């Protein structure tokens, strides 16, 4: 993880000791994350920066929790597990499910009714 974060951010934190979510948005996504290393402590923020920093490409979402799986004799984590809560927009619509419904011929109204029952679509312009 240390090498990945160094490569993606251009900042050498040393060995990563902790990833601490400092703030989450209303959807549960992390919007400020403290990275604690043996050489540097820094807070990064905005969801996209977090997603870009913690993945070789990008994380699908910043809606995740962090667990330390292994520590060495000095107590420095050797493995972190990020358990995610999806990779959509956080409003209840599965993008893959919606695409499959569309591919099967369902209308946009039927797809929206499936994910957001008892709502109405209205023209606002």
User: Long-range contact list for 32-35, CB < 8 A, 24+ apart?
Assistant: 33/62, 35/5
Query: For position 70, what pLDDT does the model report?
Result: 87
pLDDT exceeds cutoff 70 at 74: yes
- Answer whether residue 61 shows pLDDT above 90: no
> Which pLDDT belongs to residue 85?
82
Calculate the alpha carbon distances from 8 to 3, 25, 53, 86, 115 in Å: 9, 24, 5, 22, 36
pLDDT of residue 38 exceeding 80, the answer is: yes
Looking at the chain, the whole-number percentage of residues with pLDDT higher than 90 is 72
Residue 40 is predicted with a pLDDT of 98
Mean predicted lDDT score pLDDT of the chain: 92
Q: What is the DSSP letter of 1?
A: -
pTM for this entry: 0.72
Q: Does the pLDDT at position 87 exceed 70? A: no
């Amino acid at each position: 993880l240390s090498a990945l974060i160094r490569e993606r951010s251009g900042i050498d934190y040393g060995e990563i000791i902790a990833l601490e979510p400092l703030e989450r948005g209303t959807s549960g996504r992390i919007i400020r994350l403290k990275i604690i290393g043996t050489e540097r402590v820094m807070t990064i923020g905005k969801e996209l920066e977090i997603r870009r920093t913690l993945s070789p490409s990008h994380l699908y979402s910043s809606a995740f929790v962090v667990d330390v799986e292994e520590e060495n004799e000095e107590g420095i984590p050797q493995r972190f597990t990020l358990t995610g809560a999806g990779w959509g927009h956080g409003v209840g619509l599965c993008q893959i499910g919606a695409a499959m419904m569309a591919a099967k011929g369902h209308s946009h109204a039927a797809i929206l009714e499936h994910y957001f029952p008892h709502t109405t679509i209205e023209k606002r312009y």
